[in-house]
């Protein structure tokens, strides 16, 4: 899985960036140690090594995520997008047998709007916009 074409490109990119950053760090460090160098060159030399460490960290993190992906949340987008109710397993009965998987209704809809505040004139405009969005939502559901 880590030798697919897209991953090979990521490996080449990460290794190329690290090689470039290391080279720039060494160059800035030697420039800072020369008679024409300044303290700023030395700090830039250290900064390039920090960039290298950052690329290495992200590269390792991407590889770990690919090998062992994080668990998906229990509520998927399919249920909220009209993909149907999710199946929920009910707990076991007293004799140790588990009940059948029962569908659970998931209600997806707009949140109720808060009443407009009389102190802020923009709230009337916001309420009108929210009503417009609600009408678009209802039109798309039908």
Cα 105 from Cα 109, distance rounded (Å): 13
Instruction: Report the alpha-carbon angle 25-29-35, nearest 5.
Output: 150
User: pLDDT tens, 82-128?
Assistant: 554 454 555 555 555 555 555 555 556 666 666 655 666 677 888 88
Domain boundaries, the chain: 5-67, 114-142
pLDDT at 111: 66
Inter-residue contact 137 to 110 (CB < 8 Å): yes
pLDDT of residue 5: 85
Each residue of 31-85: pLDDT tens digit? Answer: 988 888 888 989 999 999 999 999 999 999 999 988 887 776 655 555 455 554 4
Phi-psi region of 96 (alpha: psi -120 to 50; beta: other; left: phi over 0): left
Predicted confidence at residue 37, as pLDDT, reads 83
């Amino acid at each position: 899985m880590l030798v697919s074409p897209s991953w090979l490109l990521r490996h080449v990119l990460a290794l190329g960036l690290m090689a470039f950053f290391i080279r720039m760090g060494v160059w800035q460090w030697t420039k800072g140690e020369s008679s024409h160098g300044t303290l700023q060159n030395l700090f830039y030399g250290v900064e390039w090594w920090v960039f290298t460490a950052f690329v290495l960290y992200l590269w390792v993190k991407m590889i770990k995520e690919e090998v062992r992906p994080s668990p998906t949340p229990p509520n998927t987008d399919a249920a909220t997008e009209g993909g149907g109710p999710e199946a929920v397993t009910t707990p076991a009965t007293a004799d140790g047998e588990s009940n059948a998987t029962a569908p659970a209704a998931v209600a997806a809809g707009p949140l109720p709007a808060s009443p407009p505040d009389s102190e802020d004139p923009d709230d009337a405009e916001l309420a009108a916009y929210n009503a417009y969005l609600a009408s678009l939502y209802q039109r798309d559901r039908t």
